[in-house]
Amino acid sequence: MFVECKENFDVTNFTSFKIGGNIEKVYFPKSVDEFIEIVSTVENVKVYGNFSNTLVSSDGYDGAIIVTSKMDNFWIEDNRFYADAGWKGPKLSKMAKTAGLSGFEFMIGFPGSLGGNVCMNASANGQCISDNITRIICWSKDKGVFTLEKNEMKFGYRYSICQELPIVILGAEFELREKDEDIIQKQMDKNLEFRKAHQPSLSLPNCGSVFRNPEGCSAGKLLEEIGAKSFVVGGAKVWENHSNFIINTGNATSEDVLNLMYKMCVGVDEKFAINLTPEVRYLGNRNIREDELCRILNIK
């Protein structure tokens, strides 16, 4: 079986942050069967979707990864909707709308892949990915391919069982609701307008929300209270319109971003005695400072 593989692949322009270096081997499976072929033959391979919430080391990564972005099987039957992990949120929103199905409107502006969205139980505008899920197709080293029902996923705010166990999402099935296309489109337009007003566009390289909201309060509000909108480290700066976003001004390194995240965390901890939890993942080689910052920030 031929599986697409690129060696010494520069992922810089592949990531939402537009930060990264060369990765030794990158596999691009197009199906579950190809995914199984890779994990069965390649040792210590890591799995990623669309790098929408991943900070990749400026020094790259001396290892192998799987990128699921080309896994694009799907089917629609009545109000049931199945999609592989590689589909991006905006495309799923439009496909569901065309079928007259409601439930994916909130994903119209999401840069990430379905697998990542399920893993973190992504949400926006009063909807979340777990609202309409019925079952999830997964893989783990111990069990191979298996199915989890919704109640087995332990969904919560920005949380699923994937944070507890080494589970990879391969696809998910949903039960959506029939609705007029025009009504769905209006909600999608409204969601896009909200996103444009509250989050930086992808023309400003960023990784989405940097920190999770602590229970009962907003990370953005806490960061604004400490003046984080003025924070700059190297080529990384806090977005002037919302304190919970970091943008790459053009020449930011992974160390710049980590140092800025540390500055933000320290500020909130000193003023409010609250430890912020990062949403950002890290991939790649670490210099001494980056290793220290990842441990302090508890970035996996």
Active site residues: 158, 209, 279
Angle at the Cα of 198 (from 195 to 202), degrees rounded to 5?
A: 60
Other beta carbons within 10 angstroms of residue 63's beta carbon come to 16
Residue type, 39: V
Q: Which residue has the tokens 């970035």?
A: 299
Residues in the chain: 300
Instruction: Please give the structure tokens belonging to residue 28.
Output: 């691009």
Percentages helix, strand, coil for the chain, rounded to the nearest 5? 35, 30, 40
Helix (H), strand (E) counts: the chain: 7, 18
Using alpha carbons only, what angle is made at residue 108 by residues 27 and 158, rounded to the nearest 5 degrees? Answer: 70
Of 285, 243, 273, residue with least CA distance to 261: 243
**HSE value, Cβ hemisphere, 13 Å, CA-based, for 34:** 19
